[in-house]
């Protein structure tokens, strides 16, 4: 993940089958010459689906080595349970742990609940939104002279729009945009956006291209307010 915030919606599968299913994937980058760089990213998700509920576990991790020394690492563990109330409305709750060294994040704990709404769906894909409240606890690796607090606990809203298009059986295009304002101060706003294209190489193997954008109106000291990332990778489904 490129940021302390995690766009878990981008990791979901809209219609997993009844029973157990999931995916495993990753990407690897090598650079030599003026810079000796190795970057590794791994991700996995596991579904357990029944007639009344969908349980999802997501794990993500990554690290980078510059001239043999670790310069970046991150990790995520996310659990979510979504209930099938009807075809339109699905209540859900979740819990999450993650850290991110480039974002100076030692630990972030999030728990919350809300509702997701499916406006339209069909063979072409799905369009929907979600709204929730979540309790967020963050511990940052900041010097004593930092202006930003190194430990914060607050209640945030989390609102998203998601679009999934399936032009054909070999191509899936997804887009998700989050807004996450602090409940007590709407000037404290975080925004996430993800655009991903997945093209099937075989029935189990996909080639993926993803663009991510993150904006934090009140970032920690020495951290940029805006981050973007463009990634390519492989994903194995089972």
Which pLDDT tens digit goes with each residue over 163-218?
989 998 889 999 989 899 999 888 889 898 889 898 998 888 888 888 888 888 88
Query: Residue 169's pLDDT is what?
Result: 85
User: What mean pLDDT comes out for the span 45-73?
Assistant: 83
Highest mean pLDDT among 10-14, 119-123, 172-176: 172-176
Query: Residue 122's pLDDT is what?
Result: 84
Count the alpha carbons within 13 Å of 170 in the hemisphere toward its beta carbon. Answer: 3
Query: Residue 84's pLDDT is what?
Result: 85
> What is the rounded distance in angstroms from the CA atom of residue 35 to the CA atom of residue 65?
11
Count the alpha carbons within 13 Å of 165 in the hemisphere toward its beta carbon. Answer: 7
Highest mean pLDDT among 4-8, 82-86, 173-177: 173-177
Of 232 and 5, more confident: 232
Of 13 and 211, more confident: 211
Of 138 and 224, more confident: 138
Contacts for 120 with CB less than 8 Å, ≥ 6 apart: 126, 127
Mean pLDDT of the chain: 83
Nearest to 218 by CA among 193, 177, 185, 183: 185
Query: Residue 36's pLDDT is what?
Result: 65
Query: Residue 48's pLDDT is what?
Result: 94
User: What mean pLDDT comes out for the span 101-109?
Assistant: 84
Count the alpha carbons within 13 Å of 54 in the hemisphere toward its beta carbon. Answer: 21
């Amino acid at each position: 993940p490129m940021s302390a915030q995690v766009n878990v919606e981008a990791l979901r599968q809209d219609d997993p089958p009844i029973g157990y299913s999931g995916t495993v994937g990753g990407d690897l980058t090598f650079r030599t010459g003026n810079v000796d760089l190795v970057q590794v990213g791994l991700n996995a998700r596991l579904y357990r689906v029944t007639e009344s509920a969908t349980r999802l576990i997501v794990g993500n991790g990554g690290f980078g080595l510059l001239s043999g020394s670790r310069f970046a690492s991150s990790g995520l563990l996310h659990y979510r349970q979504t209930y099938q109330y009807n075809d339109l409305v699905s209540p859900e709750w979740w819990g999450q742990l993650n850290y991110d060294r480039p974002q100076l994040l030692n630990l972030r704990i999030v728990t919350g609940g809300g509702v997701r709404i499916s406006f339209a769906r069909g063979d072409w894909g799905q369009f929907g939104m979600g709204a929730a409240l979540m309790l967020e606890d963050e511990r940052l690796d900041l010097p004593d002279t930092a202006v930003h607090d190194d430990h914060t606990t607050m209640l945030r809203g989390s609102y998203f729009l998601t679009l999934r298009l399936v032009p054909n059986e070999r191509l899936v295009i997804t887009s998700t945009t989050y807004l996450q304002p602090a409940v007590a101060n709407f000037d404290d706003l975080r925004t996430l956006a993800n655009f991903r294209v997945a093209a099937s190489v075989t029935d189990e193997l996909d080639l993926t291209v993803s663009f991510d954008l993150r904006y934090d109106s009140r970032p920690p000291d020495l951290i940029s307010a805006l981050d973007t990332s463009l990634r390519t990778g492989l994903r194995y489904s089972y």
